[in-house]
Amino acid sequence: MTRIGWIRHGVTQWNVEGRAQGSTDIPLNEEGLRQAEVLAERLSKEEWHHIYSSDLQRALVTAETVAERLGGGVAVKQDERLREMGGGLLEGTTEAERILKWGADWRETDWQGESHESVVDRGTEVLREIALNHPGQNVLIVSHGALIGRCLKELVPDAYKNEPLQNTSISTIYANAAGGWSCEKFNCALHLSDVVDEVEAK
């Protein structure tokens, strides 16, 4: 079986401000860089053979930070299909700004974003390719909240919990020989307690 560790990128300033990011290329903020370091420390104690990442810098920098700690020549492979769900006209806006522009029913307007079907199709496509190319190995994928959440809900609906994925959380799933998937852990971010403790101490 192929073991997949699916990771959401570290936090950005737009995350803090509640702005929709989508395909906009936003960097990690200082906290996000620290989260990536703590995540890398956690994963360095485990065995991972490959790392794939979205090409957007918030995911790519998170992945490269992990790869550096893993050592052993593990290089990050970029794939555009792992990008966040396209937000269309919503990108860069907060909830309050959307209500001001389109009203309380803004979700019903045509905000020209990517469809649910599109993001699930490309996300599950690359996931199945990775499982096929790396049988019996452990693979990390660094991507984005909406893409990961929607794909996990599609692949392991019984294990999926309707909760926001935390930044740098890891959800571990297994691909079996029959083409199905099982979930070992969902939205695990125990390593972030180190970051919280450090911030509160300042």
- Binding residue per annotation — 58? yes
- Binding residue per annotation — 145? no
Q: Is-catalytic flag, 9?
A: yes
Q: Is-catalytic flag, 84?
A: yes
Find out whether 126 and 142 touch, Cβ atoms under 8 Å: no
- Binding residue per annotation — 12? yes
- Binding residue per annotation — 116? no
- Binding residue per annotation — 102? no
d(CA 183, CA 174): 6
- Binding residue per annotation — 10? yes
Alpha-carbon 127 to chain mean position:
13
d(CA 44, CA 66): 8
- Binding residue per annotation — 13? yes
Q: For 104, what's the count of Cα atoms within 13 Å in the CB-facing half-sphere?
A: 0
Of 106, 188, 178, residue with least CA distance to 148:
188
> Which candidate in 9, 50, 144, 191 is catalytic?
9
> Which candidate in 31, 84, 91, 114 is catalytic?
84
- Which residues make up each annotated binding site? 8-15, 58
**Catalytically annotated residues:** 9, 84
- Which residues make up each annotated binding site for substrate? 8-15, 58
